[in-house]
Structure 1
Amino acid sequence: MLFDQGDSYQSAISTFVSGARPSVSFRAVDAEAVARVLASAPVFNALSETERGELVGHLRPRRFSRDEVVFHRDDAAGHVYVILSGSVKVSIPDEEGHEIVVAVEREGAVFGELALFDDAPRSATVTALDQTQVVTLAREDFLRVLERSPRATREILRLLARTVRRASGRIEDLVFLDVPGRVAKCLLDLATAHARTEVELTQDDLAAFVGATRVSVNRALADLESQGAIAVGRRHIAVKEPALLRKQVRY
């Protein structure tokens, strides 16, 4: 542990940040930022300050560059991740090198949570979309706190339920929506989930997200842009008229 039971949560966070190894320095992230993210992150927000403080000494900071892989599908699992800044995509690759993007996660999100429940390998590949800072926590350290916190256990179950619902919704979209509809719904969902009008996603990633070719996605984007629904930029798409996007979503 990096702190004793007499330390406050904020003191523990400060010790953690200042004690990060030089190779994974968190000079750009102050103690308040770490505390704020942990206090709002799913599952962690269900813990008391004392319980979060108990975990702080076991957190390990890591930093990833844009397009750097956090972990690959079938890698050994054992840690859960919390995003302090930046964003990642969660994807499932096939044998030919193509991928299906199943989620985009941003600051405050928890991923890799399946590692808490079994010894199975990773079920997906996670890649940084931009400069991304995370903290990792080993399964056994988190489970010790979960065993004493029914509220946090319920939050983990809610997180897993959200993942299942999201997967079910993706299947429904692939079956019942055409490509323009899937593109429109994807942009709406991402903008709503992250409370932002700009979706930071390349057109290749968007094509992988909706299960279509880049050519068909480019065609759909061009049509939506001509209607004034979106504005396409470099590595991002701005949602300008959500109502026009919703008109494209016809089941």
Structure 2
Amino acid sequence: MTSRLQEAEVIVWDRLSPFGQAQSFRRHNTIYTPTQPAQTLYLLMSGQVGLHLASREGRLLTMRVVEERQAFGLSVFERDATYDTFAEALTPVRVLAVPRSEVLQAMAEDGTLAMAMLELLGQQRMIVSRRIEEVAFKSVPARLASVLLEMSETQQVAAPQPNRLPRRTHQQLADMINAYRETVTKVINQFRDARLLDVDSSGITLLNPSRLRELAQS
């Protein structure tokens, strides 16, 4: 995660967590859908949450995987807005649910919080736009390289290391780039053989980010 985004996440958590009510969701539970009015901001205490778009054919495209101490449901401060994605519990999760009224009041009283919320919403909108463009115009290796680099910039792990990413299943990665799991497995094996990355039980290490950037642009 870049320092600016990380700072924004910390500000949002610190300023809004006192207003949150603890809630729990089981794995695969839907937390919200794009048809629901955005009345609650969520702060993730534990687990992982996937933010998805659905195609007309019913396939899911994962925009982002939310990690602990990150916020989601950012449409909450837009007027008359609905949520812009599906939010699904990828694991058992615990969240702090902050009512929209509390978010708006806190933002009105705290300019630093308002700027942090805008920073996070802008980042999410940029990810959505980039992901849709890449699915339309890039090959699977290019899309996978791009999403791995994006994760290295925007994801926070428990013990941060350079170019170290949280663990993702091949299906989760496939959902993030609109590809079949078998194709993603084949490309990951190609990347490993080329010493571009390494995968173990706890995560992914990018061994050659420069080459991955070249692939992402191809």
Name the aligned partner's letter for residue 43 of structure 1: V
Any idea what SS the aligned residue of 1:120 has?
coil
Gaps of 5+ in 2: 1-7
1:41 aligns with 2:10: yes
Q: Deviations over 1:181-235 (max 9, x none)?
A: 1111211211332255133222222112112233332221121122222334569
Distance 1:235 1:207 in 2: 18
Question: Displacement of 1:236 after TM fit?
Answer: 5.2
The answer as to whether partners of 1:199 and 1:238 remain within 8 angstroms in 2 is no
Distance 1:236 1:67, change over 3 A: farther
Larger RCO: Structure 1 or Structure 2 (Cα < 8 Å, ≥ 6 residues apart)?
2
Gaps of 5+ in 1: 1-38
1:94 aligns with 2:55: yes
Distance 2:81 2:217 in 1: 38
Which residue pairs with 2:169 in the alignment?
Answer: 202
Which residue pairs with 1:24 in the alignment?
Answer: none
Which residue pairs with 2:95 in the alignment?
Answer: 134
Q: Deviations over 1:114-152 (max 9, x none)?
A: 022233332211112223221011001221222222222
The answer as to whether partners of 2:45 and 2:93 remain within 8 angstroms in 1 is yes
The answer as to whether partners of 1:72 and 1:122 remain within 8 angstroms in 2 is yes
Distance 1:125 1:82 in 2: 16
Map 1:15-26; keep pairs closer than 5 Å: none
Distance 2:26 2:210 in 1: 35
Question: Displacement of 1:80 after TM fit?
Answer: 0.3
1:107 aligns with 2:105: no
Distance 1:172 1:95, change over 3 A: closer
Any idea what SS the aligned residue of 1:41 has?
helix
Name the aligned partner's letter for residue 108 of structure 1: R
Structure 2 length normalisation: TM-score? 0.80
Larger CA Rg, structure 1 vs 2: 1
Distance 1:160 1:121 in 2: 14
Any idea what SS the aligned residue of 1:147 has?
helix
1:215 aligns with 2:182: yes
The answer as to whether partners of 1:202 and 1:236 remain within 8 angstroms in 2 is no
Distance 2:196 2:92 in 1: 29
Any idea what SS the aligned residue of 2:80 has?
coil
The answer as to whether partners of 2:9 and 2:120 remain within 8 angstroms in 1 is no
Distance 2:200 2:100 in 1: 40
- Structure 1 window deviating more from structure 2 (89-98 vs 194-203): it is 194-203
Aligned length: 207
Which residue pairs with 1:83 in the alignment?
Answer: 44
Name the aligned partner's letter for residue 181 of structure 2: R
Distance 2:125 2:38 in 1: 19
The answer as to whether partners of 1:42 and 1:108 remain within 8 angstroms in 2 is no
Structure 1 length normalisation: TM-score? 0.71
1:71 aligns with 2:43: no
Distance 1:224 1:42 in 2: 37
Question: Displacement of 1:81 after TM fit?
Answer: 0.4
* Alignment RMSD: 2.8
